[in-house]
Structures are given as C-alpha cells and as structure tokens.
Structure 1
C-alpha cells in the first residue's frame, strides 16, 4: 500500500554505563521488545535516556541516545519531539566523524519519509550514500534500502527494483539485508501482478536466516506468503494463516500489516463464497485504512477537528438544556394538577376563592409558557448559528484536505478521489467506438530547482513554485486538471485531447515557461529565468484494450519520459504514443529501450538526435 509509511530506526551506538545499567543494555532491551509490548515498554526508557544525555560528556554517546529517543517518539507519532531530538543530534554530530553524521542523516531521512516529504528524504539519503559508500558498508546498505522504499512510495517501481537489486548484489544470501531487499522486491512483484516472480524471489531466502530480521519484517514476509497462497487458490490455508497473523498484530502500531491481512481475508472469503465473512473483513479493512489516512493529517486539520468537536459538544449541551427545561415544565404541570385536585376535595366550600386562586395560577402558567417559548426560540437561534458555523468549518476542512497549502493547487488526495471516474469515462467512449480523444497525463519538473533553494533560500523557492503554478494554470483549459505532484513536480491531466495536439501543447508550455521571468522577492528586483522538463503519456495506452494499462502504469510511463527529458537535455519534453500489438505493461516499463526499438511505442520530443533511455 503506497499511501502507508512505516519507519524503523537502525540504532548503532557504543557501550556506555549509566545508573548501574549500561547504555548498551538499554539499547539491547529496546531492540528485543516484541510488537505486543514495544509501545508500552519503550516509553519507560525515555527518563533514563534523558538523564543519561544530561550527565554524559561524550558527544558520540549523546548522539546515539538522541537517535533512540527519536525512534521512540516516532512510535508514538510524536513528530515534533522526534524532530527536536534529531536536530539536537545533528548539532552534536557536526563536530564528530563523517560516519556519525551519516547515521543522523539516515535517521532524518526516515523521519522525512514518515512525514511524506519524499524529495527531502531522497536528498538526505543521497548524501548518506555519498558519505558511506567507501567507508561504512552497514550504513551504505541501509541507505540503499531506504532509497528503494522511497522510490516505491513515489510509485517508481523500476527505480525501486534497481536499488534492491544493487543491495542483493553486494551481500550474500544469508544476511538480513539480502532478506529485506528480497521481501521488498517480492512485494513490488505482487503489486505488478507477477506472482511467479514474487515466488522466485522469496525462494532465494534462506529460512534459517529470517530470524536476523526484526519481528515486523518477519511478519511482512509471512503476509506476502499468505497473499501468494490466496493467489494460488489455497484459500483455506490463506484464511487460517491471515487470521493467525492478524490476531498477533492486534494491539500493535502496525496498522498497515493489519490492513493487508484484513484485505487478504476479505478476498479469500469472497473466493470461498463466504460473503458474510468477506463483508465483515472488508468493513474492518475500510476502518483500518481510514485510521491510517487519519494519522497523515497535519496539525491544521487536527486543530480544525478539535474546533469541530467543541462545536458539536456545545450543540449537545444546548439540546440537553432544552430537554431539561421540558422535563422541568412537565414536572411543574404534574405538581400543579395534583395540587388542584387536592384543593377541590378539601376546599369545596371556598369555591369563589378557589376560582380566584385558579385565575392567578393560570395567569402564571401562561406567563411561564410565554417565557419558555421565548427561551426555546433563543435556543433554536443558537443551534442554527452553531450549525452554520459547523458547515463553514466542514467546507474549510474539505478544502484544506484537497489542496496544497503553498500553491493552492489540488493535491494527490483530491486526484485519487476522482481519477477512477475520469478513467471510466474515457474507457466508455472507446468501448462504444467513440474514442479518438484521450486523457493525456503530463509530468512537469522544474529544472535545477535545488540550486535555487541552495542559492536564494527556501523562501525564494516557494515563490518560484507559486509563480510556476500560476503559469501552468494560465496555459491549461478550465476543464483540465492541475495537481502539485510533490516537491518541484506538477501533474497536468488534459481531458478529451487528441494525441497530435499533445506535442503542440508541450512545446507551447515549455516555451511559455522559458519566457516567463520569475520574481524572487517583491521587495527586491531580483529576477531569474527558469526552464522545465516534461514527460507525458496517455490513457488508454492501448485503444484496442483500454484496461490493459492501469493508472499506475500510465504515471510510470510519464515518469520514464520525464526522466529521459532531464537526462538528455533539460528544457525539453518527451512523450509516448502507442502502436498496435503492445507488450504487457511490466515488459514495457522494465525494458523501455527494447519496446521502442521494436517500434511498439512512438517517441515524440523536441530533442534533436537520438534519445537515450536507462
């Protein structure tokens, strides 16, 4: 599941002594905690670690302890405290050796990944790789594995597989790194629908070496085997194994494993024609994925949610007060009727006096009812006001969840919510024989954006992103869709577009961006000229079989085209068009050069000469 991020800190530190208990012993206790008690027990280590950091004079030891603390904070989703701990570790590491600096960089990259700052995490991992490739093989292998996971979460399966293959080529098949790279490679093969490849990868793992992996990675291995059993039709075994694993993960923080197991159980029961159980686990899967999505909300959304809950609580209080008033009125009326009956029985001879008293009481009741109606109207007005405020906040909440706060463009969350309907609309046209207009998917990447941040600062970089997004919006139609894809990348979806117009559009857009002068700061006259690289594909990629290539395949092809544009020239665009008799998506993506050589795909570009693809 690409929208789910799990980060495990690799902890390496020297042996120390504190409060009659060595730091190495604390470290080993943390490593050996099982999934069932890790969240509960790891917090007990925090006071000892804080006291240790206060009293020790060894900066290397402090850095190691701060990394452990950051790992514990991350397990509690306390991102602010984790960031603070790693910032302190980075300041101390500046005075130490390059290996310590690389270790802190790797921890920061994992935190960036947890916060879905993919480009920042990639920069940190690349720096760690550069430092450790000739000095520390352990950190180097961990960096390569994390880089592969980053590409996986960004949807670049080809680059992810390349990283894991590099790891397996550097180590023997009886190491934890080989096992970890194999598990991740098998996971990608399964997502691409190649179960035979997944089985071949897992068969190379020596079962006797699985205990070298952490407990959650061993569980991931079991989950993949269970999924393969289901794909092979062994539904009974898949259900039994999935239930066993699901029961073990209950009460842990690894919701992503629970979601995968619930998905397996839902599909396995469906194949076994047990629809009741299939629906039950589908509901649980939906609840778990919703819980995972909820964890990704930023602090603004959480604050709005708190305000929303307070408004609802106030509304409930008003309703309770209203019910209390109604209950009091009912009790008062009952008391009055009982009193009236008692007076009639005992004081019949005082009839006229009774009539006078009744007249007074009736007047009081009428006045009370008038006052009550007045209070009720006031309460109804308050409820209406609170309801309107609640609706306004709900609208704001929905807008924040669907847009990028810097550029105001739609984000991936919004795109994922509507893309299936757009694809279905296009497929219907092609199935009905009306299809000559495609959905053109174009990735746009700002050239040398990192240099802008390094030279002028991140404020200038933000100004560049805002102005480029305005330029992109001015070049597309109102019916088209513009999304901030991540970092300096944008995604344009051109609806009902003819393929021969895609080249014209790409060239016009490239030319307009090149001509546009960017103002870095309104208070200065500093201006720069930018260029962008673009890669595009289209949906359906095979008009004779519109469903052969899914949305992820189209994005991957556009990413390959973008990568070619940047590698060959920059300030360029590369686009793919299809011929007849296309190979499978997996073959096309993994060996694009062969497919182009066989003329299954036409390459369009403004680049003169041959275009090199990796």
Structure 2
C-alpha cells in the first residue's frame, strides 16, 4: 500500500493547484506536468494494478477538466476503468469506459476512440460475452484502418491483432488465432511484442506444436528487463514454458518452471494462471509416477477452478438471472392485463347479443332475462374483483421474492467468502456515509475529543505459515483471526477483509486512549490464541497501525480519510520494521505543521522521531 516515491512530486503539485493556485503558473507548463503525470501512472499500471493509484488518477482527471484537456480526461477515465476491471468491479468499469467514449465522440481523436473500443472488448471478454467483444473489435478495426493517421496505425493494429487473436483462442479457434497474431509485429513497444509472442505460443501449445512455441519463448526470454517489470507477463511466460516442457517430455523442467511461476502468483488475482499451473504440475508429476503429488495438485486445481466459477457467477450469472426474472415478471403482468381486457371485451359483446335477442321476445321473458343478466353481470364483477385481488397478491409475492434475490446478490458481492467479513467493495460503498456520520458526532461532542479510528492489521510471517503448513492452514489462521476481530470490536465498528493477510477496522466515536486499549486487546488475543493446524499448535502474531480522523494541518486543511488510511498503513509498516507483534498509533500533531499534507505521509517515521507527530507504541522507542 506504499506510494511509489517518484509519483509524490506530481501528487503534491496537482493537490497544490487544486487548492486555488492554478492561475499562478503557466498554462503550457501545467499541461506538460499533467502529461508527465499520465505517463508515470500508465507505467505504474503496467507494473501493478494498485488501488492507491485511484486518488492520483482522480486528481489528474479534475485538473484536466479544469484546463479543458478532454483527451487527458478521457485517458484518466480509461485508466481508472482498467483498475476497477482488474479487481472485478465490472459495472463501474463499464460506466467509466462509456464516459470516456462519450467525451471522445465529440472530438476528432480516432486513435483514442479505437483504444477505448479495445478496452471495452477486453471487458466483454472477461465476462465471456464473446459476441459483444467481437462487435467492439470490429468497430475498433474500422477506425484504425479508415481514420487513424499513418504513424499510429501500426501500433493500434498490433493491439487489435493481440485481442482478436486472444478472442479466437478463448473460442477454441487456434489456427485462426495464429493467422491473426502472425500478421503483425510490434517493434516500438517491447511489452506488446512480448504479449503477441506469448499469445502465439499459447495457440501453438493448444494444438500440440510445442517446438514452435519453444522458439517463440526463446525470443521472449531475451527481454529480461520487460519481464522483470511486469509480473503478469513473467508469470505467463513461465506458464507457457512449463506447458512446452510438459509436451516435450521434460517433466522435471516443467515442474521447476511451474513451481517458480506458482510462487509468484500468491497474493495476486491471477486465478486463471494459478489454475493452469496447478493442472500442468499435476500432469508432470503423473508422468513421473509421483501420483501423490499429482493428486495434491489436482485437488488444488479443482479448488481454483471452483473459485473461478464462483467469481464468474458473482460477476455475471446472478446479475443476468435477476435481470431475466424482472423482465419475465413484467412480461407476465403485461400478458395478464391484455387477457383481462380481452375478457372484458368479450363479455360486452356477449351482453349486446343477449340484448338484441331479448328485444324480439315477450316483455315477461325479457324481464326475466334482464334480471338474470344483471345477476350474471354482478357475479362476473365479483369474480373479476376476486381474480384481481389474487393477481395483486401474486405480484406482491414475486416483487418480494425479487427484492430478496437482489438482497442476497448484494450480500454476496459485499462478503468475503473465506472469513465471512465484509470486503473492500462493501467498505467503499459505506465509508463516505460513515465519515459524514462521524463528523456530525465529533462536532456534537463537548467533554472529550472523539474520533473515527482507521486501524490496519497484518498477520506476521503469514507466508511462512502457507509455505510450512499449506494454504488450507493459512485459511484456518485467517478465519480464526477474523473471529477474534469480531469478538474484540463493537457492533458499530467496521471489520473488513482488506486483502491477503490484511484486515481493516474502522472504529467511530472513540478516543485515542480507548483505541490503544482496543488494539492492544486484539494484539494479545491473537498472540495467545491456540491456532491449531494439521493437529499441531502454532503461535501467530500480528502488527497493527492506526490513525485518527479527522486530522488537520496548520492551514486548517483536513486530511481525507484516504490519507488517514495511508498514515495508519505507515504505522503498520513501522510496527513491522521495529518489532512485529506490536502496534503504532498516531495521536495527532504536537504543533502546527506548515508543510504539504503528503509530507506527513512520506516522512511519517522521521516526524515521529523529532516530535512533530505524536504517536503511541506497544514497544519502547
């Protein structure tokens, strides 16, 4: 969760301009700074999809909007959409991509419009909606070949070929994929050239041509610097290499390569790669006759596939089911209304026929028939009202059923399946309301300062637990820690599975002294808890960092809750660096701090040492 050091000067510059000093600098210089900021963010995004990039991207978008730079604004929307897509937030990613497309549609920027269509195609491919992805790729190709300038065509055609070939591979058309992927070569960008080569190698391996795949992988192996920077490319390269060794009969090499790649996927969202690596390892061990290891990796492969299926169901199937149910209900109501109107029309026609027939009969018979008709009409009205009452009851029941389905769907998307705690998606949906509510409570307090405490907890040496006892043991530890946090917090506190072995606690209406007691209680409970894995007792400890909200500098400018969360993260890292099994809690400023807010974050430890930041620790400093 640390911010990269080289991005800090640009964040400071953009934040300073947002506070009202934009007019004091030259317009061309501002645009140049924004373009540099975009370049750095794009580079960081290629290396790691980090949620900490979101505040920087939003600052870039706001500044671009103030300067009227629509192109930069659209690119910032596209960057945020890619990050949200990586973390499974497909709904907001689609909204952001479409917002960028709306901005670009009024401009003469066919290259940027084609890039947005390619990004939307990637999103549809992630949801396995291949028909929509193909339509978007065709729109991008039309723009590239008919409207994009000559100097940009080669690069965009290479990107189009990459995703068109990938779509063919996902559909099983490997020969067609090879035809597309072999038609272009990207000389300008090494990363794109590597992606094209890996996609071709993937297609060759799927049709058993491991020699051709090996030649492509040898050419990729020469690009060590590009592979070192990009984790996903490195994992894909090692996966392809392991599959090629397996097909070539080099089973030991396949195992070594796959194990190395699998180790790099821990703590990431690369479930697809993990599944393929585990399947490759199972096949290699089976060929070597080590059926125990083969069975182990087959079990892990099955568990990963189950997680992938659950992820796909959460992202697509349940939403489609809810939409289908609503549409079906509306259609059924429409049919019932039409049927009711038809019955009424038929009854009126029948009544007219009876009236015409009775005119020719005697008055006595006519009177009797009229009485019978009135009675029949009254009975029909009664039956009709009764029918409508039943129909309304059915509609109410189906509406309640749909509401319950939507409620379950929302609960599923807001809950971490392993620990039962709320996840990041839930946190981002409620934190603004929590912060506003805490601000009102703090303003109303008169006797003692009450604050909202942001607290981050990380399990010490968790990787050793996974490596020594297996991932099932790690899951047991995570579940036990989650239970401890539930027991040690109040009903009003938020407890979040933040990711991996990290947990977030948001504790409103609490003093610093109460916060120290709470985190110390959590630390002791974790330290003393009898964790049992594989019928063996192990000791687990944790490190904690926390910070209060609100917090202000000398100019009266309050830090955002995102910045306070970063301060809590700095405290967590300081506790790990200094001691472990410890906590560091920020209390406030000892005196007014006349410096940019970002310096509080970057010089956290130094400011505590010289007394400008007041902090409590569970160890002697």
**What TM-score results when the alignment is normalised by the length of structure 2?**
0.54
Q: Cα offset for 1:574?
A: 1.8
Give the counterpart of 2:510 among 497, 501, 511. 497
Counterpart contact for 1:427–1:546, Cα < 8 Å: no
Q: Which residue of 1 aligns with 2:394?
A: 382
Q: Distance in 2 between matches of 1:338 and 1:58?
A: 83
Q: Cα offset for 1:36?
A: 7.7
Is residue 549 of structure 1 aligned with residue 549 of structure 2? no
Give the counterpart of 2:590 among 575, 579, 582. 579
Output one character per residue of 1:249-300: Cα deviation in whole Å (capped at 9) or x when no partner.
Answer: xxxxxxxxxxxxxxxxxxxxxxxxxxxxxxxxxxxxxxxxxxxxxxx97523
| Distance of aligned partners of 1:352 and 1:35 in 2 relative to their CA distance in 1, 3 Å threshold | farther
Q: Which moved more, 1:452-461 or 1:369-378?
A: 369-378
Is residue 477 of structure 1 aligned with residue 490 of structure 2? yes
SS at match of 2:466: helix
Is residue 464 of structure 1 aligned with residue 477 of structure 2? yes
Give the counterpart of 2:323 among 309, 319, 322. 309
Give the counterpart of 2:174 among 44, 47, 53. 47
SS at match of 1:348: coil
Q: Cα offset for 1:84?
A: 12
Is residue 418 of structure 1 aligned with residue 427 of structure 2? no
Q: Distance in 2 between matches of 1:597 and 1:506?
A: 22
Q: Which residue of 2 aligns with 1:73?
A: none
Q: Which residue of 2 aligns with 1:570?
A: 580
Q: Cα offset for 1:411?
A: 1.9
Q: Distance in 2 between matches of 1:343 and 1:359?
A: 15
SS at match of 1:589: helix
SS at match of 2:520: helix
Q: Which residue of 2 aligns with 1:531?
A: 541
SS at match of 1:490: strand
In the alignment, structure 1 segments of 5+ residues that lack a partner are: 10-28, 69-82, 122-295, 610-614
Give the number of the structure with larger relative contact order, counting CA–CA contacts within 8 Å between residues 6 or more apart.
Answer: 1
Q: Distance in 1 between matches of 2:165 and 2:561?
A: 43
Counterpart contact for 1:540–1:547, Cα < 8 Å: no
Counterpart contact for 1:60–1:93, Cα < 8 Å: no
Counterpart contact for 1:311–1:386, Cα < 8 Å: no
SS at match of 2:506: strand
Between Structure 1 and Structure 2, how many residues are aligned?
394
| Distance of aligned partners of 1:408 and 1:55 in 2 relative to their CA distance in 1, 3 Å threshold | closer
Q: Cα offset for 1:561?
A: 1.5
Q: Which residue of 2 aligns with 1:395?
A: 407
| C-alpha RMSD over aligned residues | 4.5
Is residue 61 of structure 1 aligned with residue 213 of structure 2? yes
Counterpart contact for 1:446–1:532, Cα < 8 Å: yes
Is residue 487 of structure 1 aligned with residue 500 of structure 2? yes
Q: Cα offset for 1:573?
A: 1.4
SS at match of 2:456: strand
Give the counterpart of 1:598 among 593, 610, 617. 610
Q: Distance in 1 between matches of 2:165 and 2:379?
A: 64
**What TM-score results when the alignment is normalised by the length of structure 1?**
0.54
Q: Which moved more, 1:435-444 or 1:591-600?
A: 591-600
Q: Cα offset for 1:530?
A: 1.0
| Distance of aligned partners of 1:52 and 1:325 in 2 relative to their CA distance in 1, 3 Å threshold | same
Q: Distance in 2 between matches of 1:108 and 1:370?
A: 72
Q: Distance in 1 between matches of 2:266 and 2:216?
A: 16
| Distance of aligned partners of 1:597 and 1:47 in 2 relative to their CA distance in 1, 3 Å threshold | same
Instruction: Give the number of the structure whose residues are more often helix, by fraction.
Output: 2
In the alignment, structure 2 segments of 5+ residues that lack a partner are: 1-52, 55-79, 87-118, 123-152, 178-201, 221-234, 276-309
